[in-house]
Every structure is written in structure tokens, then in C-alpha cells.
Structure 1
Amino acid sequence: MFKGGKITQGDQNIPQVANHGLLKYPFRLNFYDEPPLFDVTIEEFETCALDRLRILAEIESSAARNRSWEETKAVTSAQCSKYLPLSPTLSKFADRDGERKRDHLSHFVLRLAFCRSEDLRRRFVKAESTLFKTRYDDDISGERENFLNSRNFNWILVDQEEHTKFSTELIAAYQGPKGETDRVSERYYKVKWTRVPDLVEKRKVFLKGGWAYVPHREQSSIVFQEFEAHLEKALEMTARLLPRLDEDTRLVPILNNLSQGSLAGISSEWANASGSTNGAEIRAEMVDNLAKKHFPLCMRTLHDSLQRDNHLKHFGRLQYGLFLKVLGLSIEEAIAFWRKSFSRMTDDKFNKEYKYNIRHSYGLEGKRANYAAKSCLQLLTPGSSSDHGCPYRTYSPENLQSTLLSSYSYLGLGSADLPEIMATVKAGHYHVACTRVFELTHASSGVSRGQGIGEGESVTHPNQYAAKSMELQKAKENAMEVE
């Protein structure tokens, strides 16, 4: 349980400090001044943070793909509605306090995860600021104004006398609507120029004596800068206090996984995929054709190695086998597929050394666990070798480019597309590179640049990639039948 910044076990009889039912969250917007002072289970501690991390990871992906602000805002809003919705204050039917409680908790959990290094803090501030800006723009104007009035931003409203004194300069610097009435009647706020460096750089404000005269239409710049400065200080303070948590064996693994999660995004419904998710059973003889049309590069390279060598190492077999299992390959078809693939060995050797492991991965042997397929995050974890990890991470630039062309050139990927893909690989955004390959190879199915797997979402799981590819082909075939 999370109580006043501490985690306690749910079955301990500890008096509750605050009843969240009595707490009020009057605004959708939040500067997160106070830590959560309510009980929460360790499960909720992690799941809330994962939901927020999915949003922040997609924000980072948008930056890596050079999306415009409007595109980034649309993707972020869609992710928020899906994972961390915040209803307006005037909403009568939504659980307003419950939604804002989850938002509050998730922010502070990720603070713990991302305060550990300067690079993590920088990335967290950048992503959280984008999330705040999106919510600020989407907020109802009246509710946003109430939020601004609830805080002291240390700005000085320029009075009429000063406005008249500098009217010529203010009108000259004004970059709003061209109407003379708007220029003259615009309200202005006076702040130290160091608080609005973005407006100074773009020459959107009048400067006098170290003060910047900010028009009301640019008021948000002050708010955003204040949010970033406030969060940067809070993260530095959290980093100094973090060593106190090092002895808590329940939290440290969770926080480590959260900080690593932004490398490959956090998969949503695919996170615990352990059974068929495409609604159709796959037969053994179909796998080769599916691999050539629908598999991501990690699974495509495993399939090609298997066909070439009639063998895969243990972890490669495990990774590929679980992928095929979730794709819809039954245990009977799986045994048939692997037996045919291992054509150089005798039936006796296959039954003794490999058949048990295949049945084990389907939960039919050993402890009979229904194992999930590996996500992009797991494939990117250090330790994954070049033959069963993520090719975008493990392959050399030359090898990666030749592999991409040999695997996907007939699906629409050309040599002219490689520089963009390799730039994202060099920057460490491997799942962004994979997403761009998906867009290029599915352009004939109507997938446009920036659309990703859908609604701008990036690839975060090999099965997500394959299932969406197969879904697009099915829709294309249905449309052709109708025509």
C-alpha cells in the first residue's frame, strides 16, 4: 500500500491517514504540488504508472518522428482517453475524483522511476510538459481560467496607465489578430524576461527594464515554463530522497522496469498476451507465407534462420514459438511446424529433445503455466543476443539495411526510405523505426505516414505488428470482394 509516500502491505492493520472519498480534485490541470496521501495496493501502484507511461512513451515517439504539434496533440489526446481519461469538472456522470486520483498517483510513481539520472529527469520533464500542454489546450476555457486563478504565477497585470504609456511598443510587438481593436484591447502581464525565453526568442513580447510584457494570448508560455521549472526542482528533490527506498525489495524492481519501459513503449492489450488474439487458427503450412507478408523484422529474421539452418537456438525457439502460439498456432500445428522445420534430425531425437519444450511453452508440461509472448521491451532488454533480440538494436547499420531491403523491398520499402529509418535507430528509438517500416510496407492497405499501428500508436509488441498487418489484409480483401 502507498501511504503518505510510503508503501505498506495490504494485509497489515494500519490506521488510514486520509479517506480519499473526502479528497477533492477541483481541476483537471495539476502542478502536482503535494504527494498522494491515500492508501493504494502495490498492484494499483504499478498499473497506474504503466498507463501513464504508455502515454509518455507515445509522446517520445512523436518527438522522434518529428510530428507537428497538432499531430502530437491528437495522438496524446487519444492515448489519454484510452488509458488515463480526465473528465471536465462539470461532468455529472464520470468518476471525476477517481480519474484524478489515478492521474495524481501515476505522476508521483513515475517521478520515483525517472528521478534517478539527469537523462531520465530530462526526458520525463519533456514528456510531462507535452502532456500538460495537451490537457491545457483541451481544457474548457472557464475551468482553465479557474485553475490559473487558483495559483500564484507571480505575474503583474499591466494597468491602463502603463498600457497607454507603452502602447506604441506593445502594438509593434503584437503578433495576434490583425484587427486594431484586438491590438489595443489585449491584456498584458509583466514578468521577468527570463521566464519566457521562447517568446523573447520569437520576438513576441516587448522588453523594458528586464521585464517582458506578455499578451494574454501568450499567457500559456508563462504557465508552461512554470510547470517545467516546478517539476525539475521536484525531481531533483526526489532524487536526493530516493536512496531511502533502496531497501524496499517490492518497489525497486517495479521502478526499474518503469524507467526501462520508455525505451520500447509499453504494450497495451498485448502486455500479457498468452493465447490466440487474431480470432483464426493458423496451420503449420501457412507460417512461411505469413512470415513473408506480416511478420516484424525480429520474427522474420528468426523464421529465415530457421528455414536456412533447420534449427534455432533455445531462446530463439522460445521467442518464436510463443509468438506463433499467440498468433493462433495450436499445439498440434506447432508440433507439426517444428518437426518439419527440424528436418535434418530423426523423429526420436526431436521427440526426446524438443517436443517436451514445445508442449511446455503451451502450458501442457512442467508447472503448466500459460506463457505470454515476448514484448518489444523484453526483446530490447540487455542480454538478448543478435539471433533472438531486436534486429534494430543488435544488427550493425550495414547488416540492418541489407536485411530490411531483402525482407521488405517487395512490400514497398525502398533504399530511399533507409536514411529516415536509420536515423531513428541511431537515436535509440528502435520501436519507432519498426513502426515506420510498418507504415511503408502497408501503404497499399491505406496506412499513411504517422498513422502507425492505428491512431498514431507505435509498435510495442511483435504480435501487435503481425495481427494488425493481417487485419489490414483481410479488410483489403473484403473491400475487393464488395467491389
Structure 2
Amino acid sequence: MLRQDYNRVDPKRRHVDYRKQQFADPAYKETEYPHRLNFYETPPTADITLEQFEQWAIDRLRILAELEACSFRNKTPAETATHMKPLLDKYLRLDSNSSASSKLFSERQKDHYSHFILRLAFASTEDLRRRFSRVETMLFRLRLSEDGGRERNAFIQSLNLDWEPATDEERTKYSAELTATAGLKKGGEEETYFKVDWERVPELVEARRVFLRAGQAFVPSKELPSMVAAQFTQRLDRALELTARALPRLDEDDRLAPILEHLSKNFITPDASFGASGSGPAVPGAEITARSIDALSSHFPLCMQNLHRSLRRDAHLKHYGRLQYTLFLKGIGLNLEECLVFWRSAFHKVTDDTFNKEYRYNVRHSYGDVGGDSIRRGGGYSPFSCQKILTEHPPGPGEAHGCPYRHFNLENLTALLQGVGISDRAVLQGVKEDKDNQKFHMACNRVFEYVHKNELKKAKDENLMSASQLETIVHPNEYFRRSYLLKNLGKANQSDDVKMEGS
């Protein structure tokens, strides 16, 4: 029976006519780019060099990282567009058809390829997929808003989106509601409307910019960019899921896998470039040892000061508190040996045997001293960024991790600020307003500017620090770094700028 199976002809191959196949159209054709914008639905197929593969991905990564930093810094769309223009012109230029540029094809090819390369790099985990989708949508929105009306409409028409135009009868029946929704002064007939399922335009529903009836949203044509951006996000999210399933097949190519792994590890904001190695001091001239942590804690952001104070008070921290604080200490330059000394002395209420059994391994694992091969090769885990602290593992009862500006109530937050020497009423009121508006980064930077107001003035007046070193802080380790440098102006080499990976 087994021999019979081996000798059977595969029915799928029985009717193949290879004489006809050799003259068939090729499966892969050179991609054309009739429009500036792209939904990235068709993977690129032309050959490029390995150098182009890596450099194009790095250039796009610079743009995405900077866009993410703009969102952390609460920049308005106009401020973001102004900030991003020179960077886009340098790293990911994309001219319109009306520009008559001779480089349209090469620019759009680079944009096309770089998107798919990073899609491969950031499809491996849900967190990376979510971040990649968010910042790619930000880039798409930025480009869509800058496109000329004629080119934008041509691009939208090319998408063949299944949007049903509202009938004349519907426009007449709901004239008052449509007019109020669209903000028109005269009648709803001045605007064209499209009907879509309300779930496809959640942002417009939330902002009450559409009229809802029987599960359908009547969207005025002026809101088409929002609908297109929502479609872009939905399709990209689905594509990322499919890419994640196909990733195991990439392991066969030992040229691409290391590049993609490197890119995914460096999907960080410019102010968050603190590697996983923890091999040296985060600032020049700083002595980072277990014994010096108490003195250095005056340079810590409030989240880490709270962890340090809780640890000294209770001689203990729960799991996520230990993890957040260990990685922060690693990021400021505390090596593994000194970190173990620090935690052993801090947990002075437990025996050596208990410490070795319950806590020692986790510290070593954070540094990559133990664990899987990928953990060890990567040097363990990187310090948590503000965004990660704000959005993941909110603290529960008896836990001290998280962001005080977000996770503390106002009374406890005020008490903590006063406990670390912040008593200025204007600052406390500003922090309250920032917290109410969910601008937690702004609250942290407000406190930083108050604590370092004299040093910041000197640094600006005497040009002792570069512009990027004085931008909004979006990472706890950058808070420490900048605080130490400011308090020790003239003692360290101020030319050491904070740069994004690869810059």
C-alpha cells in the first residue's frame, strides 16, 4: 500500500503543460508608481543590493523614530510637519508628480522597499507590530495632508474603496442632520456623502464628525483623508499578521536575519538609545557602583526615585518594580556584579539562601547572563522607556513601579513631589494640569526644568549643550544622563550628544 502511494501521480501536476507555461507572463514585474502615496499592498520584487536593503531600512527607521518622539512630546500636527520636513527631505524624500523631478521612481522605490523591509523586522511581536502600524499611519497621514488636492483625489480613486455614495433621497431626508454634522451654513446638498459601517471610522464617530443611522456613518467628502488613513491602518494590521506567520521561512537566509534583528532591536526614539549591554557608564566621569546609587538617586526621575525610596523603606520591591529598577540601573552603567551587590544589600531582611534562590537569577537574566540564546546574545533586556512604563503592567496594591504622574492620585503625587523637594505652587499646579490633560511627559519635564533651572539657563546662554540634549525627555535614563551632565557642567565632555542608533 505504501509503495502504491509513492508511485501515484499527483493530480495537481497531471495537467500541467510546460510548453505553455514557459511563454506565460512572468509572475514578477517591475513595480510602477503612478502616485506619490502607497498602500503597500504589493510586495516589491526587483533586485536590490544588500547595502541598499540595510541603508534604506535605517533611513526609514530614523523617520519613524522621530515621528514617535514627536507624539511623545505632544507636538501638534503643524509642529510635527515643520519638524519632520527637513528630515524627510534628507532621508525619505517623496516628491509629487507635479514636481517634474527626475528622481520620482527612485524615491518611490526606496519608500516602497523600506516599508516592506521594516514590516519584516517589526512583525515578530505584537508590541512591535502595534508600534510599527501606529507610526506608519502617522507618516501616511502627514504625507496625505501635504498632497495636492488633485493628486490626493487621484490616489484615493485608484484604491477602489467600497464606499457607497448617499442617495439624493437620503440626503434630502437627513438634510438637517447632515448639515449640522458637516458644519455647513446652507444645505447638506453642498457636500457629497459616503456611507460606510461606523466601525470603519471610529475617530470620526468619536469626534462627532459623522451622522449615524442604522449602523451606517454618513461621512462628508471633506473627511475622506481620515477614512483613507483608517483604511490604511486596517489593511496594514492585517498584513502584519500575515507577515508574522511567514517569518519562520526567513531563517533560511542567514544574510537577512541578522539585519532584521538589528533593526527591530533599535526601533527606539532618539532619546531612548540605551542599549541592553550595560557595559559602561551612561555619562562620562560618573562613578556607577552599588555604593554610589544613593547619591546618584538625586538625578533620578520621579518614577525611579519612588522605587529607590520604597526599596530603602521596605528593603523589598515586588517583581515589576525590581525589573523596572534593575533595567534602569543597568542603563545608567551599573554592571552585573555591582547590581547583584546593590540588590543583596538592599534586601537585607532576607537570608543569603533566600536571595540566591528567589532574586539572584532574575537580576542575571535582565543582564543576559542567563536565559535563552537570543537573550544572552542580545545582552539581556533594554531599560524601559517612558512609553513602556506608561502603557504596560500598571501597578497594583503594594507595588511601586509605573509612572507616578499617571498612576498616582493627585494627593499622593503631590506628597511624593514635596518629599523630593518640589514645593513651588506654580510647578505643582502645572503638574496637576498636565496630569488632568494626560500629558505625563510634560509633567515630568516641567519638574526637570524646575530642578535644573539654573543649570539649563547656563547651558543655553553659554552653548554648553547641543539642541538635541535640551529637547523633551522621553526616557528615564535620558533624564538621569541629562541631570548628571547639567549638575556637573564643565566636568564632563559635553560634546557627547544623544543620537539615534545608526546616526
TM-score, normalised relative to structure 2? 0.54
Q: Which amino acid aligns with 2:153?
A: E
State whether structure 2 residue 94 is matched by structure 1 residue 86.
yes
Deviation at 1:180, TM superposition (A): 2.0
Alignment of 1:45-444 (within 5 A): 45-175=53-183, 178-180=184-186, 183-265=188-270, 298-300=282-284, 302=286, 382=379, 442=456
State whether structure 2 residue 45 is matched by structure 1 residue 42.
no
* Cα distance in 2, alignment partners of residues 303 and 203 from structure 1: 56
* Cα distance in 2, alignment partners of residues 100 and 457 from structure 1: 33
* Cα distance in 1, alignment partners of residues 382 and 173 from structure 2: 69
State whether structure 2 residue 495 is matched by structure 1 residue 467.
yes
Check conservation: 1:87, 1:96, Cα contact below 8 A.
yes
Check conservation: 1:58, 1:457, Cα contact below 8 A.
no
**Structure-2 change in CA distance of 1:457 and 1:97 (3 Å):** farther
- The two structures, once aligned, show a CA RMSD in angstroms of 5.2
Q: Deviations over 1:72-101 (max 9, x none)?
A: 333333321221010111222340000000
Q: Which amino acid aligns with 1:123?
A: R
Query: Secondary structure of 2:124's match?
Result: coil
Q: Which amino acid aligns with 1:467?
A: S
| Structure 1 unmatched runs, 5+ | 1-15, 269-296, 309-318, 321-380, 399-404, 471-483
Q: Deviations over 1:381-412 (max 9, x none)?
A: 745999xx99x99xx999xxxxxx9xxx9xxx
**Structure-2 change in CA distance of 1:186 and 1:62 (3 Å):** same
Query: Secondary structure of 2:495's match?
Result: helix
Give the aligned length. 335
State whether structure 2 residue 59 is matched by structure 1 residue 31.
no
Check conservation: 2:68, 2:269, Cα contact below 8 A.
no
Check conservation: 1:193, 1:210, Cα contact below 8 A.
yes
* Cα distance in 2, alignment partners of residues 221 and 468 from structure 1: 42
**Structure-2 change in CA distance of 1:206 and 1:120 (3 Å):** same
* Cα distance in 2, alignment partners of residues 226 and 210 from structure 1: 18
Q: Deviations over 1:202-223 (max 9, x none)?
A: 2221112221110111112211
**Structure-2 change in CA distance of 1:195 and 1:466 (3 Å):** same
**Structure-2 change in CA distance of 1:240 and 1:469 (3 Å):** closer
Q: Deviations over 1:133-163 (max 9, x none)?
A: 0000011111111101111111112233321
Deviation at 1:62, TM superposition (A): 1.9
Deviation at 1:469, TM superposition (A): 7.8
Q: Which amino acid aligns with 2:286?
A: L
Query: Secondary structure of 2:208's match?
Result: coil
Give the equivalent residue in structure 2 for 1:372. none
| Structure 2 unmatched runs, 5+ | 1-25, 274-280, 293-331, 334-377, 389-400, 404-416, 486-492, 499-503
Check conservation: 2:120, 2:247, Cα contact below 8 A.
yes
Deviation at 1:267, TM superposition (A): 10
Q: Which amino acid aligns with 1:85?
A: R
Q: Which amino acid aligns with 1:232?
A: D
Q: Which amino acid aligns with 1:298?
A: A
Identical-residue share of aligned pairs (%): 38
**Structure-2 change in CA distance of 1:262 and 1:213 (3 Å):** same
Q: Which amino acid aligns with 1:102?
A: K
Check conservation: 2:271, 2:474, Cα contact below 8 A.
no
Deviation at 1:121, TM superposition (A): 0.6
* Cα distance in 2, alignment partners of residues 17 and 454 from structure 1: 52
* Cα distance in 2, alignment partners of residues 229 and 155 from structure 1: 15
* Cα distance in 1, alignment partners of residues 430 and 288 from structure 2: 21
* Cα distance in 1, alignment partners of residues 95 and 167 from structure 2: 36
* Cα distance in 2, alignment partners of residues 90 and 179 from structure 1: 34
**Structure-2 change in CA distance of 1:385 and 1:41 (3 Å):** closer
Check conservation: 1:57, 1:266, Cα contact below 8 A.
no
* Cα distance in 1, alignment partners of residues 471 and 90 from structure 2: 11
* Cα distance in 2, alignment partners of residues 108 and 385 from structure 1: 26
Q: Which amino acid aligns with 2:112?
A: H
Deviation at 1:454, TM superposition (A): 8.9
* Cα distance in 2, alignment partners of residues 168 and 418 from structure 1: 42
Deviation at 1:251, TM superposition (A): 1.4
Give the equivalent residue in structure 1 for 2:23. none
Query: Secondary structure of 1:180's match?
Result: coil
* Cα distance in 1, alignment partners of residues 64 and 232 from structure 2: 16
Alignment of 1:16-27 (within 5 A): 23-27=31-35
**Structure-2 change in CA distance of 1:188 and 1:452 (3 Å):** farther
Q: Which amino acid aligns with 1:240?
A: R
Deviation at 1:187, TM superposition (A): 1.1
Give the equivalent residue in structure 2 for 1:328. none
Q: Deviations over 1:4-23 (max 9, x none)?
A: xxxxxxxxxxxx99785xx4
* Cα distance in 2, alignment partners of residues 197 and 397 from structure 1: 29
TM-score, normalised relative to structure 1? 0.56
Check conservation: 1:77, 1:134, Cα contact below 8 A.
no
